[in-house]
Chain A
Amino acid sequence: MPSNSAAGRWLSILVLVLASVLLVSGAPDDRQLSVFSNLANYSVSVEMRNGADYIGLLETLEPLGGVSAKINGHHWKLRFNTVEAEFTDGKKRAKIQGSDFDLPSNFFLENARGIVPVASLPSLLPRLLGGPVAFHDAGRRLFIGDAAVHFTAQIFKSNPPALILNFTAPVNPTIATEPGQLSMKFTKDGVVGPGSPTILFDSKVIPSATFQESNGTAELVISATAPLMASFSNGNRTITVAAPPVANAAPAAATPPPASPSVTPSGPLSTPPPTPAATPTEPRRYFAVIDPAHGGDDSGATLGNQLLEKDITLALARRLRAELAARHLTSILVRDGDISLSLDQRANIANTVHATVYLCIHASTQGTGVRVFSSAIPRTAADRGPFIDWDAAQASLLLSSQRTVTKLSDALEPLKIPIRTAPAPLRPLNNIRITAVAVEVASPDSNAGPESPSYQESVTKMLAAGLAAVHDELEAAK
């Protein structure tokens, strides 16, 4: 019937409108703050009050220890482990362990639930937790203690080129690909970015990556001119991003030795576009792995008023790379920026790059000259079958390392500065599975320091000459 049909149409429209309104109004407020700690990583909802972000204090603290709260009129008494705090509804002034503490905006007690401004967390939480807290305001990400996960990004100019991301702890991002980029979203991992949000790579296929944080999540977007795939290895501490290999790759003779990433991919995560069966490619060979010691949070020694060892070692490493390149010797830097790397990570990089020699650079203002070290291996190797004792991994290569120390020492002789060779109880030398040496560059004399550009040039030139002198012997032994 027409009347019924019209009524039905109107009813349908009404239902649709109501459903839309309900969907919009009932959409969950997904504004959140992520907390990363050594005990737990979790997210807490963020609410808006008087134009400011607020958060429930009890639910923020609950995963971190024993917490309880009592209401006494307008007062809200909180106890976290042994710390006591008292907040008053509608007031900025609070008391923590008997001392006054001012919130940036008022505390609210709503339905027996105490909420505090998010902006107060960087100063409030250290008093309650008794430890340092770092708050990334723009991304609403809170790091308690040393829970942040750092990473390094390095391009390997293989065919196809690969971006190796090494993390200081296992990570499990959500990976998505779309034309021109691959993104990794870290919702449960406290990954923090490098100093600059954009990282540029010397690669046409993977020219850059951008790190951003928002709404409790970090995202690393890798731009690319070809489809990319990501694979995990090293217990989810390493992610290799590369274009899928193609069958008709250029022949080896036409290009520098074809290579694959140093860290063997264990299986693709994203769905790569269909490709023909891949031809296994031979790993790219680097002659030297150069490790500028320290970096990031670890400044190393303070040399003079403003100089940090980590900066001098990086400058020396870059110079050495250039000097080696001038001698047609390939090398790779363990870090090419101011980033934190653990000693184990440095050893892992050196052991997986399949290079011939590892050279770690230190700098000092104690005494003068250059010291060249091999490893003082802490104990007799306790290898078990195919498993190599990590602390004594260098043992079987020690003779080769000691010979290299001698060659480098000989090469440095023309500088007419004190040259000293010795073993050193210095990690990660003992964890390296290739010929491994360390160099400590001290001042040339009492009038100059290791930061002198001309001195650095002379030292790195001689070190490159020494490495060139030992190149054939090491390659033959390898």
Chain B
Amino acid sequence: MTPRQLSISVIVMLAIAIAMGVLVWRTRKTNSAIQTAQTNSAPVAPPVSGPTEQVTLYAADDDSGVLRPIAARVPLASDRQQRGEQTLQALVKFYSDKSSHHVLAEGSEIRAFYLVEPGLAVIDLNGAFANGHRSGVLVESLTIASLAKTLSANLPDITQIEFLVDGKPRETLAGHADLSGVYDVSSLNQLADQLQNGQ
């Protein structure tokens, strides 16, 4: 017959073992989460849901050849660079809608967006955006003005904009609109304002 004291000891030891197991399991889970967060250096995708903010997109209308301000609610991060990229992505997404009056090529995307130095924004378009863009003075000017005005309206302290395609400088968007240099935002806004007014 098992002595009473021995039974109590076994039960206590079992309880301790179970408690230790639970503790180890929880600690491992926490460490795994921390490690994943530390090793994942890929850019954080824009939030597809969550709190949204109102932004103004300046959308081109090919039929009338003008820019039109459109209010949209977009999930935005707090970081300025991410906000800029998310706003431009929202504009490109707007153009991808079938009802858009300024059709961009399939697969057109904002490849990257950088705030390089105070005031200078770099918009890096992907190859599909530029290579598939329709060719023409007005249609290309509308795209450039639309991107620049949308960006500057939502990040007002930007003073200069440079365009890249696939991370590299490019002469023109699709044979006409000049992408070779750095634009003053005031110059592009003047262009956008005149396109907005339909002059």
Contact = CB atoms under 8 A, between A and B. Distances in A.
Contacts of A376: 141, 187-188, 190-191
A437 to B, nearest CB: 12
B136 A426 contact: no
Interface stretch (A270-278, A294-302, A467-475): A294-302
Contacts of B139: 364, 366-367
A285 interface: no
Interface of A is mostly: strand
A391 interface: yes
Interface in A295-313: 298, 300-302, 309
A417 to B, nearest CB: 13
A427 interface: yes
B155 to A, nearest CB: 19
A132 interface: no
Interface in A432-454: 438, 440, 442
A302 B135 CA distance: 8
A391 B187 CA distance: 13
A425 interface: yes
B65 A379 contact: no
Interface in A398-432: 418, 420-427, 430
Contacts of B194: 422-423
Interface core residue of B137, B177, B180 (most chain A CB under 10 Å): B137
B62 A309 contact: no
Interface residues of A, number: 31
A394 to B, nearest CB: 12
Contacts of A379: 160, 181-184, 187
Contacts of A366: 62, 134, 136, 138-139
Interface in A165-197: none
Interface in B160-179: 160, 172, 174-178
Contact of A422 (B135, B181, B199): B199
B182 A362 contact: no
Contacts of A354: none
Contacts of A423: 190-191, 194
A373 B191 CA distance: 11
10 cross-chain pairs, A with B, having the tightest CB-CB distances, nearest first: A301-B135, A364-B136, A379-B184, A376-B191, A366-B136, A440-B137, A427-B178, A425-B178, A424-B141, A366-B139
Interface of B: 62-63, 65, 134-139, 141, 144, 160, 172, 174-178, 180-184, 186-188, 190-191, 194-195, 199
Interface of A: 294, 298, 300-302, 309, 362, 364, 366-367, 371, 373, 376-380, 391, 418, 420-427, 430, 438, 440, 442
